[in-house]
Structure 1
């Protein structure tokens, strides 16, 4: 688990607004946030490639960490995803974290010629992928696997990352949550509108139980919540809406009661203004409430 709460901002890789995307990342770096999180939906024609976008943002920032939220392994061969992650970590001097998933939209994946996996096959695919990622990122090779979904003939991984790159898994199903406890460094929960707070405790328990069965300390598995909403104003909708104090009290409650150690803010609108309010009004207050 992280030593202290971590806070980040979601940056959409919009091809039509590269200046806006870049400005938001720069603001996050300057404001002292911990993470820039970039979604990965390559089948969206208006989206840039996420790895390429993160390389661009990494070159223009100095301290904020970079996270794929989450990389689609059904469209990205795992050895090449590990290669990209290690390369980004080297280029950003140890600021990259890898969030990965099995591909949440298999029909869209199949339309791009990807390896669309569903159900039990997706769980098997992800278990193999997590083992491959860890071995490749540790760069201790040679690596070989004769799995059902991944057949790797033996190769020397590298380059070695600048630091141990954490591998998070984005998931919500029971068997996938079990893989997090067994094999991953952290859980990336889908947005709060898809996994509402009331559903979180049972999912956390599944991760804890699997970690204990695997001989791991459940407290070492990090937990990230993607939070959609808006700070201030009269706008209402699905997500978290309210004053900065409402946000602070809510996130502090989720940290203490739901055991999240990382929050990524997905502003419903006015991203740059919302980022400043989050960094200046919400984050310090959450830290005060949770000390």
Structure 2
């Protein structure tokens, strides 16, 4: 069993569809009103059927009151890290500390290259992300002396001014699946954000992923608990059980509590573009899961 003791959060993964233009915004507002903790959007800047995710995040921040916001995950190869760091801090300040930085190393390289991005191998992309994480933290360190200077293989910053500092310590959450990326998560990031459907071994892959992250965190002088474990979920609510995350809300609660207690998952993000599903997730699954986990942790 692996339980890192984090508070439980529940969120939504919303498709940033461009038509109708305000559909994703209204879903985010519905999630906020339903009491979910987090709303996230995938980021594919080369996809004309989607709104630009950064623009959407900014608009949603102005339309919501309490829910946290994140990319799931932002496309680094088409977003320069120094600019992204300042944009993230700005949105965090404007939203009252509600922004988190979910980010990935990149994929779909043909589309990235078509938009002017640099094509990288998978290993190079992870190295570039590590450089970017360092730049994010340097830009946010507004109280440190001097400008930011990074002479990296992929990014160069030549004396950029620091700041503004964000309203809170922005979490850097990485979408990671393979060992090199998982190890980067353990030594440098604040969260691991995979999708359950992409974990070929299902929950078993969570055990392997946690192992890589925990070992890397300890080697870097960190605690494994410094890394929040998040998980994108898909499923179906039904009157009777038909499988994992396919059944009534009380079944969902039991299964999510198991993921929390056995695999350390503390943030559950439901892929849903239906406000009624979000409301059920927030009203029934979230409190029941919290109750089960709290009771077990109290033993």
TM bucket, shorter chain: over 0.9
CA RMSD of aligned residues (A): 1.8
TM-score by length of 2: 0.91
For the residue of structure 1 that corresponds to 2:271, the secondary structure is strand
Which residue number corresponds to residue 187 of structure 1? 192
Flag as ranges the 4+ runs of structure 1 deviating above 3 A: 233-237
Which residue number corresponds to residue 204 of structure 2? 198
Query: How many residues are matched?
Result: 287
Give the stretch that moved more between structures: 104-113 or 216-225: 104-113
For the residue of structure 2 that corresponds to 1:278, the secondary structure is helix
Shift of 1:259: 0.7
TM-score by length of 1: 0.94
- What pairs with 1:30-109 in structure 2 (closer than 5 Å)? 30-109=33-112
Which residue number corresponds to residue 169 of structure 2? 164
Residues 103 and 172 in structure 2, CA contact (< 8 A), matched pair in contact too: yes
Instruction: Rate the CA distance shift 1:183–1:47 in 2: closer, same or farther, 3 A.
Output: same
The reply on whether 1:244 has 2:249 as its aligned counterpart is: yes
Residues 10 and 36 in structure 1, CA contact (< 8 A), matched pair in contact too: yes
In structure 1, the gaps of 5 or more residues are none
C-alpha distance in 2, partners of 1:112/1:230?
36
- What pairs with 1:252-263 in structure 2 (closer than 5 Å)? 252-263=257-268
Deviations along 1:15-44, one digit per CA (max 9) or x if unpaired, are: 102332222111111121110111101111
Residues 213 and 224 in structure 2, CA contact (< 8 A), matched pair in contact too: yes
C-alpha distance in 2, partners of 1:290/1:86?
33
Which residue number corresponds to residue 297 of structure 2? none
Instruction: Rate the CA distance shift 1:118–1:240 in 2: closer, same or farther, 3 A.
Output: farther
C-alpha distance in 1, partners of 2:219/2:32?
39
In structure 2, the gaps of 5 or more residues are 295-299
For the residue of structure 1 that corresponds to 2:269, the secondary structure is strand
For the residue of structure 2 that corresponds to 1:273, the secondary structure is helix
Which residue number corresponds to residue 278 of structure 1? 281
| Higher RCO (CA 8 Å, separation ≥ 6 residues) | 2
Give the stretch that moved more between structures: 153-162 or 52-61: 153-162
Instruction: Rate the CA distance shift 1:82–1:163 in 2: closer, same or farther, 3 A.
Output: same
